[in-house]
Structure 1
Amino acid sequence: MQHLARPSIRQIPVAGPEAGPYGITTGPDGALWCTMVHAGQVARLTIDGRVDHYELESATAGPAVITPGPDGALWFTRLRDHRVGRMTTDGEVTSFPVPTPDGGPYGITTGPDGALWFTEMNSDRIGRVTADGVITEFSLPTQGALPSIIAAGPDDALWFTLNQANAIGRITLDGEATLHPLPTADAAPVGIALGTDDALWFVEIAAGQVGRITPDGRVQEFPLPDRTAHPHAIVADPAGGCWFTEWGANRIGHITAEGRISEYDLPTPSSEPHGIAVGPDGAVWAALETGAVARLAA
């Protein structure tokens, strides 16, 4: 995908603003799947604009981050009823309670071992769930850290952000955790993704920066032109670099592997972009909390 100076951006309504589109990913069926954090729903969106909604068992489940699983289903965290959800591509839902009460599962990704790994924001734990629903939890060596988004690294480990501990964490498949403090104080990292350069790229929502950490723990930080932009989520660009949402500035941004930043305004003011994904059509798709999904095509 080429990155042009003036890409085409359009917005596709998927729900009312009260539903809160939040996480988004490309499913194994070639459609986009989006969580509705306030409505207790998951939506399926085809690239030609068809939208189907699937209800969860609870309207207050708080579905947040969503990812394709190794079993051909979609897996997502349920932040408010403290469960991990699974949905088949025809909308069949199952869910698994997190063992720690009120754990607050949030980020989720497929690990190199074929299980799903997730963060527990409220309990300072990293969880692992198998395709048949068996959950294991690993405690982190810190308290009040607010583990947020998690991604598989190039080193057979999982990497995650620690929003309140101001660090990037790494956990091995047997549960050994290492923390890497960030150079900027109170940066509050949230989104993290594996880049095409085998480094982990992350966004600092409070500092207005994009960061990069190598598997050996070396950190670089790249300030955004607007330090109050509140970057939230990030995804690798298959052509190199990463795309990210600027929740506070109503933009989608791009950063090259060398740190060059480009930014694109969304057409509707105060859209509140959250999750971001590269779609099956090569375009960039972002969930807008105001009730739409944005498509950016170079």
Structure 2
Amino acid sequence: MIGRTVVEHPVGEPGEGPYGVAVTRDGAVWFTLVHGGRVGRRDPDGGLAYFSLGEGAQPSQLAGATESSVWVTDTTGNRLVHLGVGGDGGSGSGGSGDSGRRIVLVGAVDVPTADAQPFGVVALDDGTAWFTELGADALGRIDILGRVEEFPVGRDGSFVSMVAASGDDLWFTLNAGNAIGHVRGGDAAIAFTELPSIRSGPVGVAIAEDGAVWVAEILADALARVSRDGTLTEFPLPAGSKPHAVAADPADGVWVTLWGTGQVISVADDGTLAPHDLPDPESEPHGVAVAEDGTVWVALESGALAELAPVSASA
């Protein structure tokens, strides 16, 4: 039987709002301060460093790109920023820290379509990255040379939100379109899976180890699961729970943040739900990521990162 200890780590300034979170292969935890225009990085030893994207920036989502770097969507800046690490401590290139390694700018890529509002992002093993465009109802792709190509999804007003990948398969949510999009290979046509609830508001999406796709339906207080054979199943959640982000757990199933009730739930491949209460029910959990050692990290808009570490216990 595996239990969890929950520890909160304050980050940033009051009101900056940790929103997205990702763990890179070097064990660092990266997070966006969506209202502060900054990106933060927490070293495995707890040291913190920050990088400002400039006045008016809105870093939203981020995804591990390499062993120690991330892609970040700047939604209001209409660009994606590639951040990595430099020397220990100090500041430079907009980065600063206390005992953490300095964050440096690797590169930045502008989105060709004006006011496209890039939001979700995922990095692939081939060095490319895909992102969603809230304002343009499109997907974008950054190739290994930094060139951007955009692909309209063909549904106006669908509010393309978050994206996940497995191999060259892409899945993404259409928040206002009540559907999930799927591209099997970058050049394939987009296929859509309609969600049963009339007004579901799909947001977070993740692909579990068994190949099933899990989606958070924030307006329907439910989770949707699409199996590899295309079977769709909905799992109701308590009223007002407002599921937001989803992250695959290499051991089994997925983790989902419940923004409305201040909880995180683990969901097994068979749909079994296990809730985990956070210390503050008003903490507004948003982004969630799972590290290689099984630790779950959650971005709390109240101003902290929650660390849910696994603890072995006798049954």
TM value normalised by structure 1: 0.93
Give 1:223's aligned residue: 236
What 5-or-longer segments of structure 1 have no aligned partner? Answer: none
Matched-pair identity in %? 39
Residue among 71, 74, 80 paired with 2:70: 74
1:28–1:73 Cα contact (<8 Å) kept: no
Q: Which moves more between the two structures, 236-245 or 111-120?
A: 111-120
Indicate the SS of the match to 1:89. Answer: strand
For residues 99 and 67 of structure 1, what CA distance do their matches in structure 2 show?
21
**4+ residue runs over 2 A deviation:** 46-49, 70-73, 111-114, 214-218, 279-282
Residue 214 of structure 1, CA deviation: 2.8
2:121–2:162 Cα contact (<8 Å) kept: yes
Give 1:15's aligned residue: 12
Q: How does 1:1-298 map to 2 (within 5 A)?
A: 3-4=2-3, 7-56=4-53, 58-70=54-66, 73-90=69-86, 91-93=103-105, 94-111=107-124, 113-153=126-166, 156-171=168-183, 172-174=185-187, 176-224=189-237, 226-298=238-310
2:208–2:252 Cα contact (<8 Å) kept: yes
Residue 70 of structure 1, CA deviation: 4.5
For residues 58 and 208 of structure 2, what CA distance do their matches in structure 1 show?
28
TM value normalised by structure 2: 0.88
Residue 21 of structure 1, CA deviation: 0.6
For residues 200 and 112 of structure 1, what CA distance do their matches in structure 2 show?
19
Q: Which moves more between the two structures, 236-245 or 278-287?
A: 278-287
Please tell me the residue identity of whatever aligns with 2:74: R
Bigger Cα Rg? 2
2:24–2:66 Cα contact (<8 Å) kept: no
Residue 100 of structure 1, CA deviation: 0.6
Instruction: Please state which structure has a larger fraction of its residues in strand.
Output: 2
Please tell me the residue identity of whatever aligns with 1:164: A
For residues 195 and 239 of structure 1, what CA distance do their matches in structure 2 show?
9
Indicate the SS of the match to 1:88. Answer: strand
What 5-or-longer segments of structure 2 have no aligned partner? Answer: 87-102, 311-315
Please tell me the residue identity of whatever aligns with 1:102: D
Please tell me the residue identity of whatever aligns with 2:69: A
